[in-house]
């Protein structure tokens, strides 16, 4: 796909952020289907920035993507809905790309001396471990349940197994990790898929962002 | 102790201050031409007073005074000006046109890299409505940004009246309507597409809403909107916007304006026009505004109102992005007479002639070039070498600006 030159606007390389990790391969494939030349990006090694045809691809940690997009470090990006919600930043959600489906769930130990509900009845407070404190707080506020949130950066499953928390809020694609750690799902918080997002200014004044968005939307429709 | 400032507050040293002064003056000149009069509001306001009109942003700085009144540091200028008009001026003598340059304070989360104090330049136009009034406000915003030296910026405009009419005409449950407006408010196109897919919704309304949030363009955009809403009997809502656009063409500013309904925001507050300004390479809006015809009524004085404000700091950041942030060269003569009285006499004489002159600090024939540099000086050499005056050639004179 040729990137349209934007009328009179100062032409600068378009900056597209791509998430490292589980969404990476699908993101590259999707952008390639939308007509962007992604050759060589399949295996970028330790590259942080990849330049091609007036586009700079930034390879970033998923949780940093909303920050780069909201503050104009990237003009647009592919990013999980989970990271967008958790960041509480101002980005424009343009297309639901459909892949990378996962859901946020509340889970607790299958077998435990005390059930979390009993704990809440007697102590009036639940301790919830999560990587996603904002999503967790919004969920429990909606439910009218008072919680102490413990922010962790990995292996959330361990927190209830060590009695540090009564429940966890975490993402799961298949539920395997939860089962392996003898946790059972008690509620759904929200479901997430990968989105194409844009910086609020870039979406409004850089036509290239909208051109890519409509090409991606066409790809997604074609798959359905 | 390390002598720091609070997070998000900063000092402004002379080089930056000069640029701020110059930009401010350029914009003030534009606003003056349009007949806007300066106004100032206090740094502190009574929170409950402002809240009678609008929910004061959770990000406002709050504090208690010795009377135990809950106060707020100026969170914006629109609310205080509405208070002034309602409580002191009345609407009988309207219209009013006010302009201001005032510091604004907003709480910001830690580690987000955001300022908590910034300078807003803006206008409030009270007592007028209709396309002529909307076009005036948009034109002044474009002319103000041009006066700052910005190029390639865009002022995006839309009308929440068109959006509201469409939502109301679709005769869906209020909760659905609120969710649609919220999707516009948060620019969430994905959420909007899900909402308009609701099976009980007439698909024509769904298609219109879905297309509306994607519109981004000039005159041709109106044709798109018109085609969508004409079938639904909603052309009237659009006519005002089209008339406004024609006036923008007459004013010669339409090339810097785009129609974009994805900017529709704060829908409890805006009643018609909404606008937001963006510059390439700068990821945040420079500023924005619109029409808030219900605002004064909440202070007990009913009158239509519109206005805009933009951040001086963001405009400077956008100018820096375009390498257009240029320091002024200031020509200054350094004077040292035969004695102190003679020095003063000569300095005054130069000032009377309209020339900048400063009293050289050092005794003796030579004044260090360093002093000239300090004042960004380019020495005027024309009527130099008068008796007793030491005029220094300045090798530190700068070529052009710096970015």
Domain match, B268 and B362 both: no
Using alpha carbons, select from B59, B105, B113, B78 the residue that is nearest to residue B284. B113
pLDDT bin (cut points 50, 70, 90) of residue B391 is very low
Domain match, B180 and B268 both: yes
Three-class SS state of B270: coil
Domain contains B205 = yes
Domain match, B186 and B81 both: yes
CB B217 within 8 A of CB B261: no
Average pLDDT over residues A84-89: 93
d(CA B391, CA B360): 10
Domain match, B266 and B343 both: no
Shortest distance between the Cα of B95 and any Cα of chain A, in A, equals 33
d(CA B32, CA A185): 65
Three-class SS state of B210: helix
- CB-nearest to A201 from B190, B214, B285 is B285
**Token pair for residue B100?**
């201001």
Considering chain A, what is the average pLDDT of its residues? 89
Shortest distance between the Cα of A117 and any Cα of chain B, in A, equals 32
Q: What is the DSSP letter of B35?
A: T
Q: What is the pLDDT of residue B384?
A: 36
Least confident of A41-55, A70-84, B199-213, B229-243: B229-243
pLDDT bin (cut points 50, 70, 90) of residue A47 is confident
Question: Which of A:96-135 have CB within 8 Å of B?
Answer: 96
CB A78 within 8 A of CB A30: yes
CB A215 within 8 A of CB A1: yes
Q: What is the DSSP string of B308-374?
A: EEEEHHHHHHHHHHTT---PPPB--EEE--SSHHHHHHHHHHHHHTT--EEE-SS-SS---HHHHHH
CB B123 within 8 A of CB B97: yes
What is the domain partition of chain A in residue ranges?
14-101+193-223, 102-191
Domain boundary among B271, B294, B321: B321
User: pLDDT tens across B355-384, in order?
Assistant: 889 998 765 444 444 444 444 333 333 333
CATH number for the region A14-101+193-223 comes to: 3.40.190.10
Question: Which of B:248-277 have CB within 8 Å of A?
Answer: 258, 260, 262-263, 276
CB A20 within 8 A of CB A30: no
Higher pLDDT, B329 or B311: B311
Q: What is the pTM of this model?
A: 0.84
Domain A102-191 falls under CATH 1.10.150.120: no
Inform me whether the C-beta atom of residue B298 falls under 8 Å from chain A C-beta atoms: no
Q: Looking at the 3D structure of chain B, how many domains does it have?
A: 2
d(CA B53, CA A87): 30
User: pLDDT tens across B263-319, in order?
Assistant: 987 777 899 999 999 998 899 999 999 999 999 999 999 999 999 999 999 999 999
Using alpha carbons, select from A9, A93, A176, A98 the residue that is nearest to residue B187. A93
Tokens 């969404």 correspond to what residue?
A23
Domain match, B229 and B314 both: yes
Domain match, B75 and B177 both: yes
> Would the pLDDT of A99 be above 80?
yes
Domain match, B261 and B359 both: no
Average pLDDT over residues A23-46: 92
Within a 10 A sphere around the Cβ of B293, how many other Cβ atoms? Answer: 15
Residue A78 has phi, psi (to 5 degrees) of -105, 135
Q: What share of chain A is helix, strand, coil (3-state, %, to 5)?
A: 35, 30, 35
Q: What is the pLDDT of residue A113?
A: 62
Considering chain B, what is the average pLDDT of its residues? 86
Average pLDDT over residues A158-172: 91
Q: Tell if the CB–CB gap between A92 and B262 is shorter than 8 Å.
A: yes
Please name the residue of chain B whose CA is at the shortest distance from the CA of residue A214: B214
Using alpha carbons, select from B157, B158, B156, B176 the residue that is nearest to residue B167. B176
- CB-nearest to A10 from B152, B187, B278 is B152
Domain match, B113 and B235 both: yes
Inform me whether the C-beta atom of residue A71 falls under 8 Å from chain B C-beta atoms: yes
Domain contains B7 = no
Domain of residue B363 covers 330-403
Domain match, B363 and B261 both: no
- CB-nearest to B216 from A90, A95, A210 is A210
**Token pair for residue A30?**
């999707």
CATH code assigned at B170: 3.30.930.10
CB B31 within 8 A of CB B23: no
Domain match, B147 and B282 both: yes
Higher pLDDT, B72 or B113: B72
Domain contains B37 = yes
Tokens 């060589």 correspond to what residue?
A40
CB B336 within 8 A of CB B363: yes
pLDDT bin (cut points 50, 70, 90) of residue A112 is low
Tokens 């500013």 correspond to what residue?
B253
């Amino acid at each position: 796909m040729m990137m349209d030159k934007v009328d009179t606007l100062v032409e600068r390389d378009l900056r597209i952020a791509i998430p490292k990790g589980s969404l990476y391969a699908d993101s590259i494939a999707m952008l390639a289907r939308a007509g962007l030349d992604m050759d060589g990006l399949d295996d970028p090694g330790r590259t942080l920035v990849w330049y091609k045809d007036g586009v700079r691809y930034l390879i970033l940690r998923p949780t940093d993507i909303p920050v780069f997009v909201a503050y104009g470090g990237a003009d647009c990006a592919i990013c999980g809905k989970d990271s967008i919600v958790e960041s509480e930043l101002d980005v424009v959600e343009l297309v639901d790309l459909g892949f990378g489906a996962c859901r946020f769930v509340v889970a607790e130990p299958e077998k435990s001396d005390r059930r979390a509900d009993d704990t809440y009845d007697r102590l009036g407070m639940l301790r919830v471990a999560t990587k996603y404190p904002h999503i967790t707080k919004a969920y429990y506020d909606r439910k009218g349940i008072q919680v102490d949130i413990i922010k962790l950066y990995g292996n959330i499953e361990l927190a209830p197994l060590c009695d540090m928390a009564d429940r966890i809020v975490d993402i799961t694609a298949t539920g395997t990790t939860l089962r392996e750690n003898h946790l059972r799902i008690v509620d759904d918080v929200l479901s997430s898929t990968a989105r194409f997002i844009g910086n609020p200014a870039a979406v409004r004044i850089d036509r290239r962002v909208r051109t890519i968005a409509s090409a991606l939307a066409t790809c997604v429709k074609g798959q359905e | 102790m390390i002598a720091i400032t609070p997070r998000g507050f900063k000092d402004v040293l002379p080089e930056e201050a000069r640029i701020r002064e110059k930009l401010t003056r350029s914009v003030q000149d534009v606003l003056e031409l349009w007949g806007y009069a300066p106004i100032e509001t206090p740094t502190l306001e009574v929170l409950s007073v402002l809240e009678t009109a609008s929910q004061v942003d959770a990000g406002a700085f709050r504090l208690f005074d010795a009377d135990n009144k809950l106060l707020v540091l100026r969170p914006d200028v629109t609310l205080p000006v509405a208070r002034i008009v309602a409580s002191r001026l009345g609407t009988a003598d309207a219209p009013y046109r006010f302009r201001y340059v005032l510091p604004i304070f907003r709480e910001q989360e830690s580690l987000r890299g955001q300022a908590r104090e910034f300078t807003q330049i803006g206008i409030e136009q009270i007592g007028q409505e209709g396309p002529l009034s909307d076009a005036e406000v948009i034109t002044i915003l474009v002319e103000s940004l041009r006066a700052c030296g910005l190029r390639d910026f865009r002022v995006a405009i839309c009308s929440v009246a068109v959006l509201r009419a469409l939502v109301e005409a679709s005769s869906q449950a209020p909760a659905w309507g609120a969710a649609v407006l919220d999707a516009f408010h948060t620019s969430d196109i994905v959420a909007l597409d899900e909402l308009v897919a609701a099976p009980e919704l007439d698909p024509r309304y769904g298609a219109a809403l879905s297309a509306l949030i994607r519109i981004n363009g000039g005159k041709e955009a109106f044709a798109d909107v018109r085609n969508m809403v004409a079938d639904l009997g909603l052309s009237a809502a659009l006519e005002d916007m089209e008339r406004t656009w024609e006036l923008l063409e007459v004013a010669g500013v339409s090339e810097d304006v785009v129609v974009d309904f994805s900017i529709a925001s704060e829908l409890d507050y805006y009643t018609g026009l909404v606008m937001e300004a963006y510059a390439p390479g700068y990821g945040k809006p420079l500023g924005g505004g619109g029409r808030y015809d219900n605002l004064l009524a909440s202070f007990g004085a009913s009158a239509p109102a519109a206005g805009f404000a933009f951040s001086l700091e963001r405009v400077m950041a956008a100018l820096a992005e375009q390498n257009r942030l240029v320091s002024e060269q200031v020509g200054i003569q350094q004077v040292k007479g035969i004695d102190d009285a003679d020095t003063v006499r000569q300095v005054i004489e130069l000032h009377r002639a309209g020339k900048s002159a400063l009293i050289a600090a050092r005794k003796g024939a030579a004044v260090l070039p360093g002093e000239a540099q300090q004042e960004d000086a380019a020495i005027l050499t024309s009527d130099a070498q008068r008796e007793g005056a030491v005029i220094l050639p300045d090798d530190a004179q700068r070529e052009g600006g710096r970015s």
